[in-house]
Amino acid sequence: MIPASSLIHALLKASLIAIIGLAPTLLQGATDSSFKPSPVPGGVAVIDLGSSNDPRPTVHFGTKRTMVVDQDGRWKALIGLPLTVLPGSKIISVQRAEKSREEMISFQIAPKNYPEQRIKIKETKYVSPDKEQLARISKEAGHIGAQFRIWRDVSDIPLLMDWPVDGRLSSPFGLKRFFNDKPRKPHSGIDIAAPEGTDILMPISGVVTDTGDYYFNGNTVFIDHGQGMISMFCHLSKINVKKGDVLARGQKVGEVGKTGRVTGPHLHWSLSLNQSRVDPMLFLPEHKNAGQTGTDSK
């Protein structure tokens, strides 16, 4: 067993290859098969709102409505925390009935330091896009943001999902990223490496809200699981669904590919709650490949 401190030290210093080798055991924190609250930037805070014999309350974090689910007879608010949120005391507003006054409940966000990842990209258009490419990226960012704003009222959403791809966690959530030594946005999803053509399956049920080809994300599918929980699957080689399709858990979405900004075939999966990208690993059981290491892709 390597002490955690030296692991972290190694991660900070290490090359991409070392990160790939260490990340699954260090960051794949799932040890049991249940949803794991994690009140940190990029995590999910869970707040108990009382017995689910009462009507379901409406909850907002800032201006954004949050998911409220029934867990063991209790209403639980799941608050997605963006990677950019500052640790400390935060407030949610809770409305118990239609015309009742809002109640404020405070909760704490703990700090979390994510390791760095340095990636070499051969195609400079993915590192330093030109004016035309930047215009496309900006337009797409607006469209992606709109997908994450979708709200559909669904009463029952399971908090334990299935791995969408039978593969290895090749890049964990939250890494501070440098492409060719240039700082870029942190990794707002997880990467699961698998050969091109591997099936991508629904982790839980949902509705396809859009599909498209994006500059960085390649062939992409957006899925609305309900109550502001949205999945974005990227870099597909093949898309098997279309806008409006209602998909059951386990149904095929498409196939793993390497379209967009990639260094090898993998599925990038972003999971969003109340418009905040959170770590999908919180919702996944420990993977059978959890201890496996490798050196390909990112």
40: CB partners within 8 A, 6+ apart: 81, 87, 109, 110, 111, 112
- Residue ranges in 215-244 that form contacts with Zn ion under rule CB under 5 A: none
Tokens (6 digits) for 33: 């098969």
Nearer to Zn ion (CB atom), residue 171 or residue 274: 171
Nearer to Zn ion (CB atom), residue 39 or residue 115: 115
Asked if 261 is part of the footprint of Zn ion (rule: CB under 5 A), the reply reads no
Instruction: Please provide the distance, in angstroms rounded to a whole number, between the alpha carbons at the two ends of the chain.
Output: 25
Q: How far is the CB of 173 from Zn ion (least distance, A)?
A: 9
Question: What is the amino acid identity at position 121?
Answer: I
Nearer to Zn ion (CB atom), residue 47 or residue 169: 169
- Enumerate the H helices of 105-213 as residue ranges: 131-148
Q: How far is the CB of 21 from Zn ion (least distance, A)?
A: 18
Size of the site for Zn ion (CB under 5 A): 2
Q: How far is the CB of 196 from Zn ion (least distance, A)?
A: 16
CA distance 53 to 213: 45
Q: How far is the CB of 280 from Zn ion (least distance, A)?
A: 11
Asked if 268 is part of the footprint of Zn ion (rule: CB under 5 A), the reply reads yes
Nearer to Zn ion (CB atom), residue 232 or residue 273: 232
- Enumerate the H helices of 14-153 as residue ranges: 16-27, 131-148
Q: How far is the CB of 171 from Zn ion (least distance, A)?
A: 6
Taking CB under 5 A as the binding criterion, the range among 45-53, 59-67, 183-191, 221-229 that sits at the site for Zn ion is 183-191
Residue 12 exposure: Cα atoms within 13 Å on the Cβ side: 7
Asked if 191 is part of the footprint of Zn ion (rule: CB under 5 A), the reply reads yes
- Residue ranges in 139-178 that form contacts with Zn ion under rule CB under 5 A: none
CA distance 234 to 267: 6
Q: How far is the CB of 50 from Zn ion (least distance, A)?
A: 38
Order across the sheet with 74-80: list the strands. 44-51, 74-80, 67-71
Give the DSSP letter of residue 241.
-
Tokens (6 digits) for 120: 């070499």
- Kindly list the residues in this chain that would bind Zn ion in the complex (CB under 5 A): 191, 268
